[in-house]
Chain A
Amino acid sequence: MKAQDFSVNILDPSKIRIRRDGSGRLRAILDDAEEFRVKRIVRAFPLTMPWRYIILIDENDREIGLIRNIGDLDENSMRILKDELERVYFIPKITKIYQIKEEFGVLIWETETDKGPRRFEVTSRRNVKKMGKRRIIIRDADGNLYDIPDYANLDQKSLVLLESVI
């Protein structure tokens, strides 16, 4: 039996182009020759390295390959890929916390995010997770995610509110 190949197919950023087809779906073109329909794009490290190690998967659920850093792509491809990643991974960044109210053990957050104002409920303090030194990832009762990349950058009032739940 043939030994299985576990090596990662790292795509050469200079040889891959990304474009959108007529209905807005992604296509990847390798070496200006092969063209793939991209069914899924996956961040290998969605929380720690959102713009690096992006895996492209084709319509037959086969891995097309891995992009090490989308910054290495040509301007246009990068913009399209970044745009698509932002859509697939909807993780608003909290910029301000107006209030965290506790009602029967459920935390009700009123916040401002980079995607607009948002009110959400968190059912357990365990869902307010500290990652690394100053990063906070929050999962709300419906399974939506929110990100505070560095809580030291929050204003004093937001910080005090946040402190009370972590």
Chain B
Amino acid sequence: MNHNWNFPLCWGGEEIRVMKKSEDDSSSILLRNDLVEELPESIIASLSRMGLKEKIRAAVSSDITSKNTYGKVWLILTDDRLLIYEPELNSDPIRSVFIRDIEKVEIRKYVGNNSLFLKTKNGDLELIRFTNTLRPKFEDLIKRVEAVLNLSWKPEMRENHIVERSRETQRRCPKCGRIIPPWMSTCPVCMSKRKVILRLLGYVKPHLPLAIFGFALTIGFTILNLLPPYLMKILIDDAIGNANLTLLVWLTLSLVFIYLLRALASAGRSYLLGKLGQRIMVDLRRKLYEHLQFLSLSFYDKNETGRIMSRVMSDTERVQYFLTWGIQQFFMDIMILIFVAIILFTMSWQLAIIVLMPTPVLVVGTKLFSKKIHNIYHKAWRRWADLSAILADTVPGVTVVKAFSQERKEISKFNRKTYELYHVNVKISFLEGIFFPLVGFVMTLGAVSVWWFGGRQILSGTLTLGVLTAFISYTWRFYEPVGRLSNMSSILLRATTSAERIFEVLDTRPEVHDAPNAISLPPLKGHIKFHNVSFAYESGETVLRNINLEIKPGQKVGLVGPSGAGKTTLAKLLLRFYDPTEGKITIDGYDLREVKQESLRRQTGIVLQEPFLFKGSIAENIAYGDPGAPPEKIIEAAKAANIHDFIISLPEAYDTDVGERGHRLSGGEKQRVSIARALLRDPKILILDEATSSVDTATESLIQQALERLMENRTSIIIAHRLSTLRNADKIVVIDHGEIIEEGSHEELIKLGGLYSRLCRMQAALAVITNE
């Protein structure tokens, strides 16, 4: 965590002690604990030559030189000045700026690098440049420079100034400094695999009888599998060799019996383990999905849909496979190895050693091959993905391709990608074609050597034919698990990675959660108040600043402002999808953080910018918020939303399937269905988020009518781009850069002549153009 700011590098004129050791080579993985790094001798010498009296507040290195190459440049911040050193050029500071001359410090983002920019009384200055890798460090530095700049700070406050580590740095492992892959939450190198596996095993626990029974069958199967060669030995040596017919009959019968038992054990094992696996998967998926439903929106902001889906689908699958087959196979292979080795060595230790000889070759070969082939499989997968991307692009976009007559170009693009895939696949065939026969050959070498040495022993009379035959059989049974086990580490790695991803979701606590003493909201009047509310997203950017707003019951309030100004965020805070970073929001005097989320959302409704419909019939979609609603209510809501006439013109009317995400309806139709959905719920507070964007004028008036009806007798907040939507608003609030800049009625704001009046003029002009 944060190290204190009382760093030992104090400059009193007589002694410099540098205690904090930092990673020296900035081009290597960066470890950063404080803003004071170990200075090179030459700079320390120069500092003492200058006889500085003030304390050093920060000393950091950058990684781009003034000659525009990689290399170190140092920035030293004292109470009085900023010094820049470039030891490779000059042992004295190449630049020195007095703190009192600095007006502003900022980082300018370039491409592939950044610069620390100073606005001073004597003009602007680019102080130092650094790659994006060092950006977090310099962001922290800026905070410290600002702290030193801030003269109102008392000396002792400066002394204890701590820079909060920026969130960015959390992308690197705090322990080892490695980058944490975006698909993981903790550093895979430092993650305890044993812990993950132990936790995974916890999921087997509820199904212990199944697992134990399955495992018992696995052991039985293994032993049964090892018996036949031994019987074969007796068969050849004693039954055939001694012409003992009774023994032959008994042995044949036992062999049949053993093979039957083996088949039964195998069948039982497949069934039990299959069942166990599916049970575990159902548990995991159910748990995951349940958890996902209750997670806050902030989780979904951070994680792409595709990634979440792959966690629910493929990660659970992989974990389940590992927990059942992977682990059992592992134990079985180890058992076989041990058993067979014991048998081999008791039968003939000389021959056993010959059998062992190819093993190292097999282990190393398999390891090398699986690494190589893994890379190429991955490559093939990428080529394959390229190809399907082309299809996913051009098939739906065929109208555009044809309209611009680019068929030939698309064909050649596809051909090129097909050929790339072809080359990789040929390479895979080649590698596999070489590897497996080669492995087979190495194994045969072992077996043939056994024939050779064993054969000679038979000829000299020290070994029987039966023993040799059995030996050869065991030899083959020995090599099989060797190959599988050499690949175990990568299987283990893949499973723990998947498990870790699942656990990450399960361990995420919803950021917005009901307080233990949360109360259920009584029926609302709809009196909304924002008390000095500020909000910043996870990424750190502040979206809303000091919002104070009062909306009286039944008022219609319009939110206006450029896109990205924070309008939608404000609405989301009101529904408590997020909690404000500062300040509070009350409805009828209740702080939103002290009420149950469900009781709040039961009385609020939202019509989103992009209406989202679920797979199912129109009726089901309208009744989404109240699945038990009587048909009359559904029709009423549809009528009020101006969509009824359209619905009954469809052959299947209210039973019409809207298709996935409602793709069978047009934008305006979907919008009206979503209005009906909000109407049916009869919310006390209603939020309309740009509900009329992207529809034609005729549809807009239909929607507008529907919205007017929807807003009657409710506190409504309308987020609008088209200001015409706000004709009947009681109050208009203009937001820009996260702050309320204007507030009042349409007429008042026009008279004010600010942003709103400007927006109005622009839209009026636009209306002229569109009407022409």
Contacts and interface: CB of A to CB of B under 8 A. Distances in A.
Given A23-B125, A106-B181, A144 B131 contact: yes
B111 A116 contact: no
A88 B64 CA distance: 12
Contacts of B131: 90, 142, 144
A88 B110 contact: yes
B111 A23 contact: no
Contacts of A22: 123
Contacts of A1: 765, 768-769
Given A88-B110, A115-B70, A106 B133 contact: no
A106 B177 CA distance: 13
A90 B124 contact: no
B172 to A, nearest CB: 9
B70 A89 contact: no
Contact of A90 (B27, B112, B189): B112
Contacts of B188: 103-105
Contacts of B324: none
Given A1-B768, A90-B111, A123 B70 contact: no
B110 A90 contact: yes
Given A113-B70, A119-B27, A142 B135 contact: yes
Interface string B492-504: 0100010000000
A91 B70 CA distance: 11
B480 to A, nearest CB: 29
A115 to B, nearest CB: 4
A71 interface: no
B69 A145 contact: no
B238 to A, nearest CB: 56
Contact of A121 (B132, B179, B378, B768): B179
A164 B184 CA distance: 23
Nearest to B120: A23
Contact of B64 (A90, A119, A142): A90
A166 B69 CA distance: 27
Contacts of A120: 133
Contact of A142 (B124, B132, B183): B132
A35 to B, nearest CB: 16
A89 B111 CA distance: 5
B28 A89 contact: no
B182 interface: yes
A21 B123 CA distance: 10
Given A90-B68, A118-B70, A144-B132, A123 B182 contact: yes
Interface string B125-148: 110010111010000000000000
B135 A23 contact: no
Contacts of B609: none
Contacts of B497: 104
Contacts of A140: 133
Given A87-B129, A106-B179, A141-B171, A119 B135 contact: no
B178 interface: yes
Q: Is the interface of A mostly helix, strand, loop or mixed?
A: loop
A119 B30 CA distance: 11
B181 A117 contact: no
B112 A89 contact: yes
Interface string A62-85: 000000000000000000000100
Contacts of A145: 111-112
A32 to B, nearest CB: 24
Most buried by B among A105, A118, A142: A142
B104 to A, nearest CB: 14
B184 to A, nearest CB: 8
B124 A23 contact: yes
A97 to B, nearest CB: 15
Nearest to B191: A104
Interface residues of A, number: 38
A103 B123 contact: no
Interface string B8-30: 00000000000000000001110
Contacts of B113: 87, 90, 144
Contacts of B124: 23, 25
B183 A105 contact: yes
B71 interface: yes
Given A87-B129, A106-B181, A144-B133, A125 B378 contact: yes
Nearest to B123: A23
Nearest to B371: A102
B765 A117 contact: no
Interface string B57-84: 0000000100011110000000000000
B348 to A, nearest CB: 44
A92 B64 CA distance: 11
Contacts of A121: 29, 178-179
A144 to B, nearest CB: 5
A23 B769 CA distance: 47
B316 to A, nearest CB: 19
Nearest to B109: A143
Contacts of A124: 182
B178 A106 contact: yes
B382 interface: yes
A104 B64 contact: no
B181 A115 contact: no
Contacts of A86: 68
A45 B70 CA distance: 25
A130 B126 CA distance: 34
Nearest to A116: B70
Contacts of A115: 64, 68-70
Contacts of A87: 68, 110, 113, 129
Interface in B329-382: 375, 378-379, 382
Interface string B156-181: 00000000000000010000001101
B27 A118 contact: yes
A138 B438 CA distance: 38
Interface string B561-588: 0000000000000000000000000000
A103 B184 CA distance: 13
Interface string B94-119: 00000000000000001111000000
A164 B378 CA distance: 10
Interface in B26-74: 27-29, 64, 68-71
A91 B68 contact: no
B119 to A, nearest CB: 11
Contacts of A46: 111
Contacts of A21: 123
Contacts of B382: 125
Contacts of A166: 379
Contact of B112 (A24, A91, A117): A91
A121 B177 CA distance: 12
Contacts of B112: 89-92, 143-145
A143 B133 CA distance: 8
A123 B178 CA distance: 11
A21 B124 CA distance: 11
A51 to B, nearest CB: 15
Given A86-B68, A87-B129, A142-B132, 11 more contacts: A23-B125, A24-B125, A25-B123, A105-B183, A115-B64, A116-B70, A118-B27, A119-B28, A123-B179, A123-B181, A144-B112
12 contacts: A89-B110, A92-B70, A92-B112, A104-B184, A104-B493, A123-B179, A123-B181, A125-B382, A140-B133, A141-B171, A141-B179, A144-B131
Closest 4 CB pairs of A and B: A116-B70, A90-B113, A104-B188, A90-B112
Interface of A: 1, 21-25, 46, 83, 86-92, 103-106, 113, 115-121, 123-125, 140-145, 164, 166
